[in-house]
Amino acid sequence: MHVGLDSGIARSQSQLAAVCSDFSLSLFDWGTLKKLHSMRGHTDKVTGVRYVPGSDSVLVSSSLDGTVRQWDTRSGQMTMEHSDTTLQKRKPLTCVDVNAAGRFLCAGTEVVDQDAYLVFWDVRQPTPLGGYWESHTDELSTVRFHPTDSGALATGSTDGYVNVFDVTQTSEDDALQATLNTESSVSSVTWYERRDGRHLAVVLDTEELQLWNLQESERTAQFGRQEVAQAIRRTMSEVCYVESCHQTAEGDVLAVAGATTKEGHGCLRLLRIDGDRLTPHALLEDSEVTQQLVRASAFSAATGELVTGGEGGILTLWRPGARPSSSQRRDAKAPTHKQRGKHKQKPY
Amino acid sequence: MLCCHQAQEKKRKFRETVELQIGLKNYDPQKDKRFSGTVKLRNMPRPSMKVCILGDQLHCDEAQANNLPFMDVEALKKLNKNKKLVKKLAKKYDAFLASESIIKQIPRILGPGLNKAGKFPGLLTHQDSMTGKVDEIKSTIKFQMKKVLCLSVVLGHVEMTPDELVINTHMAINFLVSLLKKHWQNVRSLHVKSTMGPPQRLY
């Protein structure tokens, strides 16, 4: 059974949830990467997975089958199914998130009859509270509530816009606070704070990064694929990619970036975004793991630990200053000796 | 071969677009990374795009001097967030550029109408050359893979010289191939086609 890992990995305090290509979800213990459960029910590709903030036992997942499902991670059973049938047909859902208070769900959709929707549910109700459909023109690629402000939502789409909403407002018109035009196609957004307010780190489908200041709706930095390649010490930008960004406990923004090539020339690194520079933060060394294209990651700000998942089906836990551990390898061989002291915090 | 085709063109009433059609292989739209974005080409593929400047005082003056259509904040506020009027504005132009001080107010002044039309403005700073930015918009093309293994991008138009089209074609192909995981192994075929003409195979 192949672990898809292209729709994301979600983490809670002690667990990890990853998507499998057979439409099921797999639960793992974060520390040992031991598999706990399989959760089945979705009938099409699972596109997003998130834990309800602060909870180890409630997981939500979105799918192209048009449902957001809630799961009890202790039993592995589905506890609720949310969908939106206001148009007499289900809208394929492409991403999902839960707000900080754990009260509301938001999912983005594919284009349905020329509209791209954001649908909202109360976690306790299967039918939607409402939706927005005026602010994006193309498929939603990501929805991200603010980590502590339950009313702030950032959304990104292949139309190139990142929209920021105050969902406590009653109408979409009033809720839309800012539109950031990346002039490309958005892959993911990450909230971070600076002294002058809220910012967003935006990863584009063209393997580029943009940083935006929300107060001013201003782009404060952009890094093209060449700059990403230089930062990860590769000469061929066409094999380089950025997977996503994470915020550390100190408020730094880290980007998971790598290069794919055969014969061990692949690499995986964490880059720190320093104002207008990308600086190396850590080298994630394990040639079998870094051969594959990393498609999903989850970060623990508390411990600095990172989990990555890639197209080769390997989940890897990286700890600062220690050897990585991986699950689902084809052979049980341990990483070679030169990889001791992986994930060092000093720059290269 | 491109110029040979142009010579055979019948006279049409509109300026035909030239497109690159890419057929992909070994790519699974369900599993592989999304293939979508924009790329800037050297020779303007869409010179007749109408771009409107939503400007502060300085930018409005500059727009006037450059014979570019413009609107200031007051003119935008006069639309009173009326959906029909905003929609009409969106229809009138192909793209918008807005000054820094204005762009952050757009959602408040106009609501999501420009978003809905896919025409939210690009940013125009006082460091940018206005005509340069307008040319940039006219030179940037969008590409997006949907569920079928084939996509098409605008390369230019039939009144461009063969050299200009060739340069644009190379830039587009190189950029798109660089974004595919297996690069040329993901490309099954390449065709160039003008709106009314037959496709011509390149690869």
> Which pLDDT does position B6 carry in this prediction?
52
d(CA B182, CA A110): 26
Q: What contacts B161, CB < 8 A, 6 or more positions away?
A: none
Q: What is the ipTM score, two decimals? A: 0.92
Which residue(s) pair with A240 in the sheet?
Answer: A259
Contact list, A44 vs chain B (CB under 8 Å): none
Ordered by start, the domain boundaries in chain B are 1-35+145-201, 51-137
pLDDT at A339 over 50: no
> Which pLDDT does position A310 carry in this prediction?
85
> Which pLDDT does position A71 carry in this prediction?
97
pLDDT at A3 over 60: no
d(CA A177, CA A211): 17
Give me the phi and psi of B7, to 5 degrees please: -65, -30
Which residue would you say has higher pLDDT here, B15 or A294? A294
Please tell me if residue B124 touches chain A, with a CB cutoff of 8 Å: no
Q: Give the pLDDT mean for B89-118.
A: 96
Which of A149, A90, A147, A151 has the alpha carbon at shortest distance from A117?
A90
Q: pLDDT digits over B6-31, tens only? A: 544 556 667 889 999 999 999 988 88
Q: pLDDT digits over B132-154, tens only? A: 999 999 999 999 988 788 899 99
Yes or no, beta carbons of A179 and B183 under 8 Å apart? no
- Strands A294-300 and B140-144, bridge-based pairing: unpaired
CATH for B1-35+145-201, among 2.60.120.10, 3.60.150.10, 3.30.190.20, 3.10.450.50? 3.30.190.20
pLDDT at A106 over 60: yes
Q: How far is B201 from chain A (nearest CA, A)?
A: 25
Residues of A with CB under 8 A from a CB of B: 4, 6, 21, 45, 134-138, 141, 158-161, 163, 172-173, 176-179, 181, 183-185, 187, 204-207, 216-219, 225, 237-238, 241, 260, 293, 295
When pLDDT is cut at 50, 70 and 90, the band that residue A328 belongs to is: low
Predicted structure pTM score: 0.92
Q: Give the pLDDT mean for A29-56.
A: 92
pLDDT at A204 over 90: yes
Q: For chain B, what percent of residues have pLDDT higher than 90?
A: 74
When pLDDT is cut at 50, 70 and 90, the band that residue A263 belongs to is: low
> Which pLDDT does position B12 carry in this prediction?
67
Q: Tell me the CB-side half-sphere exposure of residue B77, using CA atoms within 13 A.
A: 6
Yes or no, beta carbons of B106 and A184 under 8 Å apart? no
Contact list, B179 vs chain A (CB under 8 Å): 205-207, 238
Q: Report whether B134 contacts B68 (CB < 8 A).
A: yes
B46-49 — which CB contacts under 8 Å span 24+ positions?
A: B46/B94, B46/B138, B46/B139, B46/B141, B46/B154, B46/B157, B47/B138, B47/B157, B48/B15, B49/B94, B49/B95, B49/B137, B49/B138
> Which pLDDT does position A1 carry in this prediction?
40
> Which pLDDT does position A243 carry in this prediction?
95
Ordered structural domains, chain A, with CATH: 5-328 (2.130.10.10)
pLDDT at B127 over 50: yes
Q: pLDDT digits over A108-141, tens only? A: 999 999 999 999 999 999 999 999 999 999 999 9
Q: How far is A200 from chain B (nearest CA, A)?
A: 15
Yes or no, beta carbons of B38 and A134 under 8 Å apart? no
Other C-beta atoms lying within 10 Å of the C-beta of residue A309 = 29
Residue B76: C-alpha distances to residues A30, A212, A314, B89 (Å): 53, 25, 53, 10
Which of A278, A341, A266, A280 has the alpha carbon at shortest distance from A310?
A266
Mean pLDDT of chain A: 88
CB burial of residue B132 (10 Å; 0-12, 13-18, 19+): exposed
Three-state SS annotation for B13-68: CCCCEEEEEEEECCCCCCCCCCCEEEEECCCCCCCCCCEEEECCHHHHHHHHHCCC
Q: Give the pLDDT mean for B53-64.
A: 96
Considering only CB atoms, B31 lies closest to which of A6, A141, A206, namely A6
When pLDDT is cut at 50, 70 and 90, the band that residue A4 belongs to is: low
Contact list, A161 vs chain B (CB under 8 Å): 115, 120
pLDDT at A266 over 80: yes
pLDDT at B3 over 70: no
Which of these ranges, A14-23, A107-116, A256-265, B25-34, has the smallest mean pLDDT? A256-265
Mean pLDDT of chain B: 90
Which of A149, A171, A39, A153 has the alpha carbon at shortest distance from A96?
A153
Please tell me if residue B123 touches chain A, with a CB cutoff of 8 Å: yes
pLDDT at A7 over 70: no
Beta-carbon contacts below 8 Å between A and B: 94
> Which pLDDT does position A321 carry in this prediction?
81
Q: How far is B111 from chain A (nearest CA, A)?
A: 5
Nearest chain A residue to B95 by CA: give it: A183
- What DSSP string describes B114-150? HHHTT-PPEEE-SSS-HHHHHHHHHHEEEEE--SSSE
Q: Give the pLDDT mean for B109-120.
A: 96
pLDDT at B86 over 70: yes
Considering only CB atoms, A184 lies closest to which of B38, B116, B121, namely B38
> Which pLDDT does position A337 carry in this prediction?
24
Q: pLDDT digits over A67-92, tens only? A: 999 999 999 999 999 999 888 888 99
Amino acid present at A92: P
Considering only CB atoms, B112 lies closest to which of A172, A181, A219, namely A172
Please tell me if residue B127 touches chain A, with a CB cutoff of 8 Å: no
Q: How far is B4 from chain A (nearest CA, A)?
A: 33
Question: In which element (H, E) is residue B100 found?
Answer: helix B100-103
Q: Give the pLDDT mean for A210-223.
A: 95
The reply to whether B1-35+145-201 and B51-137 are identical in fold is: no
CATH topology of domain B51-137: Rossmann fold (3.40.50)
Nearest chain A residue to B180 by CA: give it: A238
Nearest chain B residue to A188 by CA: give it: B34
- N-to-C CA span, chain B: 13
When pLDDT is cut at 50, 70 and 90, the band that residue A336 belongs to is: very low
> Which pLDDT does position B7 carry in this prediction?
47
> Which pLDDT does position A55 carry in this prediction?
86
